[in-house]
């Protein structure tokens, strides 16, 4: 079963560069907005991580830019959980909200860090896996 969440974001004036398109570095913000919404949906967001004593830093990201985004464009960012064994891997497709044309595809990899002993976890924490199970149970009902 696919675990994903689509978030609508509007390109703001301050996102646009002197070529009149959204500056490529701002896509990282769009990914983060969508990722946070996905984690909220699953029921295991940054607050939960913190409370459980974990941090989930990004260790790798890649982005492909297919079409530009213009000022005031509404885009939809679909964040999809594709792996949560040793890494938390999320894949993203960004589309123009109106035309549905593909704008960008991206991936992020996060590892779990145990904040008490500052060690990298070799597998995702049980609390995360538990949240996934509950989410899947809710979704299938």
H-helix or E-strand spanning residue 4: strand 3-10
Using the minimum distance from each CB to a second copy, give the nearer residue, 117 or 140.
117
Spatial distance between the Cα atoms of 60 and 55, rounded to a whole number of angstroms: 15
Distance in Å from the first CA to the final CA of the chain: 13
Find out whether 3 and 73 touch, Cβ atoms under 8 Å.
no
| 64-93: contacts with a second copy (CB under 8 A) | 64-65, 68, 71-72
Length of the chain: 141
58 is a site residue for a second copy (CB under 8 A): yes
Q: Which of 3, 4, 6, 36 binds a second copy (CB under 8 A)?
A: 36
Spatial distance between the Cα atoms of 22 and 63, rounded to a whole number of angstroms: 14
Q: Which of 46, 52, 97, 114 binds a second copy (CB under 8 A)?
A: 46
Q: Which of 8, 53, 57, 133 binds a second copy (CB under 8 A)?
A: 57
- Reduced DSSP (H G I as helix, E B as strand, rest coil) percent helix, strand, coil of the chain, to 5: 30, 35, 35
121 is a site residue for a second copy (CB under 8 A): no
102 is a site residue for a second copy (CB under 8 A): no
Half-sphere exposure (Cβ direction) of 20: Cα atoms closer than 13 Å: 0
Sole window of 18-26, 73-81, 85-93, 128-136 interacting with a second copy (rule: CB under 8 A)? 18-26
Using the minimum distance from each CB to a second copy, give the nearer residue, 60 or 133.
60
Site residues for a second copy per CB under 8 A:
12-14, 16-21, 23-25, 28-29, 32-33, 36, 45-47, 55, 57-65, 68, 71-72
């Amino acid at each position: 079963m696919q675990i994903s969440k689509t978030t609508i974001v509007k390109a703001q004036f301050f996102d646009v560069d002197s070529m009149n398109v959204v500056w490529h570095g701002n896509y990282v913000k769009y990914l983060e907005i969508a990722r946070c919404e996905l984690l909220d949906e699953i029921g295991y967001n940054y607050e939960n991580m913190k409370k459980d004593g974990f941090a989930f830093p990004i260790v790798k990201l890649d982005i492909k830019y297919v079409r530009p985004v213009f000022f005031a464009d509404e885009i939809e960012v679909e964040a999809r959980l594709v792996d949560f064994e040793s890494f938390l891997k999320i894949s993203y497709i960004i589309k123009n909200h109106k035309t549905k044309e593909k704008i960008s595809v991206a991936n992020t990899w996060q590892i779990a860090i145990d904040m008490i002993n500052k060690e990298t976890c070799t597998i995702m924490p049980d609390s995360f896996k538990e949240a996934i199970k509950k989410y899947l149970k809710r979704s299938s009902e």
